[in-house]
Amino acid sequence: MDFTEKYTNDKEKRLLLRKIKDLIQRAEKSYTVLYSAFLDPASQALLCRVSEFTGRISLTGGYEDAERRLCRVNPGEYAEDSGAPIVLWEVNSPVREAVFSHRDVLGSLMGLGIRRDMIGDILPHENSALFFCHTSSSDFIRWNLTKIGHYPVNLSPASFSQVPTPSFTLRTVNVPSLRLDCIAGEAFGLSRTKAAEAIRKGLVFVNWLEITDPSHEIHPGDKISLRGKGKIEIDEVSGMSKKGRLFIQLRQKQ
């Protein structure tokens, strides 16, 4: 039986698992650390569930809070490693009123014919942005990215130390249990019924995996996202009220 059948019914995700399995075999044969292309959070979460990959892989995206990361395959302690094939670029516009969104930067890069898995996180800031890319696409981007939207841009190499530390807000909610529908409802300002409906429709993700069971139990450290509403992280269960309700501290990126 194909080992991928244990983990997913999705054809694309099965293909990903086979690619990582092949990457592991090539790394072991050459005794060299190898890297995948950039993976979205759902793909990363899937890889971490695969028992066949345990102890063989890790994830890296250029900075601690990266969402899009490469899968790093290490065949052994003394394996040759030339480093993660990640380049960080800073893009600026000489036009003062230029403002770049994540979508603007991504659209311009993909408009050059760059595959999405060659681009890591994009961190826009007013009329500039930082973005990570795979080394194999770096030179092409360097010589061809001259505009974002209607605005001319300049590209320069950046240091990973330039990545800003994200800031978060903390807030406490009061819930009857650690069920997903209870916490999602409080986190995103929905009634429990509406939250359960969104969960059943496949709009809610826990640690980037689609969860359709409203009674799914949530734990500290879990990340919950609702399509169109954002993402929160469960920071801690901070106590219990006299009526037995739980105080949950939520962490949300500003």
- Domain shared by 142 and 187, yes or no: no
- pLDDT at res. 73: 97
| Residue finishing a domain among 147, 162, 177 | 162
- With 90 as the cut, is the pLDDT of residue 252 above it? no
Mean pLDDT, residues 157-177 taken together: 90
CB-based contacts of 12: which residues, under 8 Å, 6+ apart? none
- Domain shared by 184 and 208, yes or no: yes
Return the CATH number at 115. 3.30.70.330
- With 80 as the cut, is the pLDDT of residue 254 above it? no
pLDDT > 90 in the chain, percent = 74
| Residue finishing a domain among 73, 102, 124 | 73
- With 70 as the cut, is the pLDDT of residue 1 above it? no
| Residue finishing a domain among 134, 162, 190 | 162
Q: Answer whether residue 248 is part of any domain.
A: yes
- The per-residue pLDDT of the chain, averaged, comes to 92
> Are 181 and 195 in contact, with CB atoms under 8 Å apart?
yes
Which segment, 105-119, 153-167, 201-215, is predicted with the most confidence on average? 105-119
pLDDT band at 114 (very low <50, low <70, confident <90, very high): very high
Q: Answer whether residue 80 is part of any domain.
A: no
Distance between CA atoms of residues 42 and 27, nearest Å: 24
pTM for this predicted structure: 0.82
Q: Which residue has the tokens 């986190």?
A: 187
- With 90 as the cut, is the pLDDT of residue 22 above it? yes
- Domain shared by 179 and 227, yes or no: yes
CB-based contacts of 65: which residues, under 8 Å, 6+ apart? 166
- With 80 as the cut, is the pLDDT of residue 118 above it? yes
Which residue segment(s) compose the domain that 151 sits in?
86-162
Q: What are 49-100's pLDDT values in tens digits?
A: 899 999 999 999 999 889 999 999 999 989 999 999 999 999 999 998 898 9
Q: Answer whether residue 102 is part of any domain.
A: yes
- Domain shared by 104 and 62, yes or no: no
pLDDT band at 3 (very low <50, low <70, confident <90, very high): confident
Q: Which residue has the tokens 């949300």?
A: 252
Q: What are 210-229's pLDDT values in tens digits?
A: 899 999 999 999 999 998 88
Q: Answer whether residue 79 is part of any domain.
A: no
- With 70 as the cut, is the pLDDT of residue 112 above it? yes
